[in-house]
Amino acid sequence: MRDEDFRGDERPNIMELFKCLPVIEHLTTWGYMSPLLVQDSVPRELSTLPIHLKYFCMEEFGFGDGYGLPFLCVLIKYSPSLEKIKLQVGSGHYDETEPDKLEEYSVILEKYPDVWLEHLNELEIIFFENSKLEMEFVKFIVVRSPGLKKVKLQLYRVGKNEELKMLNILLSAPHASPVEIVVENLNQMP
């Protein structure tokens, strides 16, 4: 579905999504939908909460596209029953050579200090490239999830030395509970 598929001023947003799906337990969506759902801004409050949502998967998730992360933050903030988050990272990466972009996207996470994922027990990220924002997101989740048992990262374009450094950072970061970090390198690089 593309932006031009909607006629007139009738475009969906995140609030309408949850009004239509108040008792959904499993939700899988494409990252390409998040610009349509987020539009100009993400609400800080949802009128209809996805309180039954246990599993959320987003394919083609973009950490740096300006839409994926705000959509995900709102979703997790208002999904108290969430047990698993699965993200398949797509092509929406930001350019790490632009420090302003990293700061801009990191500010998104800072807007959600009250996120507490009491029931989350698994986080899985496919095509994890070990970008600064991806690492900040994993640390954000780990520190706010007292029931988290497993973080599974399927690495993409990450060398062995970088993998070891990444693991040391994640293992030494603050955790709300002991967490097993499972790493699978999809393409072994020297």
Provide the β-strand partners of residue 86.
57, 124
Give the C-alpha separation, 123 to 87, whole Å: 8
CA atoms within 13 A on the CB side of 39: 12
Residue 136 has pLDDT above 70, yes or no: yes
pLDDT of 166: 94
Most confident of 11-25, 70-84, 100-114, 116-130: 116-130
The stretch 44-63 carries a mean pLDDT of 79
The percent of residues above 90 in pLDDT, for the chain, comes to: 41
Give domain limits for the chain.
13-38+46-185
- CATH superfamily, domain 13-38+46-185, is Ribonuclease Inhibitor (3.80.10.10)
Sign of the CA dihedral running 12, 100, 176, 92? positive
pLDDT of 13: 62
Residue 138 has pLDDT above 60, yes or no: yes
Q: Which residue has tokens 């072994």?
A: 188
pLDDT (tens digit per residue) in 5-24: 444 455 556 666 667 666 78
Give the C-alpha separation, 106 to 32, whole Å: 21
The percent of residues above 70 in pLDDT, for the chain, comes to: 69
The secondary structure of 149-166 as a DSSP string is -EEEEEESS-BHHHHHHH
Predicted TM-score of the model (pTM) = 0.81
